Amino acid sequence: MLKKELQGFIDFIQEKGIISLAIGFIIGGAVTKVVTALVQDILNPLIGLLLGAAGNLSEQYMMVGKAKVHWGNFVGTTIDFLIIAAVVYYGVKLLGIETPSKSKKK
């Protein structure tokens, strides 16, 4: 019984592409770290200078009453997201991976 269950699990991993999915997660994590470093260490300080905010953009905030609104962190996170989304988009296009789409009527 245990051998049959183990074989079923191994078949599931092989047939469903779980190993490919795991590799994708690992590579995705590495790409995310590189992009985050690019945004935080290079782009945010440059954008901060362009906007007249001395120092790192992610540290910029404005006071609204007694609350600090960290607008710089939001801008940095948005830039981070856009770069990662572009890497994923062009990576999929470059590798020729087809994504499921709605069937087109002729």
Strand-pairing partners, residue 8, are: none
| Percent of the chain whose pLDDT exceeds 90 | 4
Q: Residue 34: give the domain boundaries.
A: 20-92
In a domain, 103, yes or no: no
Q: What is the pTM of this model?
A: 0.56
**Confidence grade of residue 55 (pLDDT, cut at 50, 70, 90):** low
Amino acid at 40: Q
Instruction: Give the model confidence (pLDDT) of 16-42 as tens digits.
Output: 677 777 777 888 888 888 888 888 788
In a domain, 97, yes or no: no
**Number of compact structural domains in the chain:** 1
Place of tokens 């890497």: 87
- Asked if residue 104 belongs to a domain, the reply is no
For residue 63, the cross-strand partners are 68
Tokens of 25: 């997660």
Residue 64 and residue 76 in contact, taking contact as beta carbons nearer than 8 Å:
no
Q: Residues 70-104: pLDDT tens digits?
A: 888 888 888 888 888 888 788 777 777 665 555 45
32 is a domain residue: yes
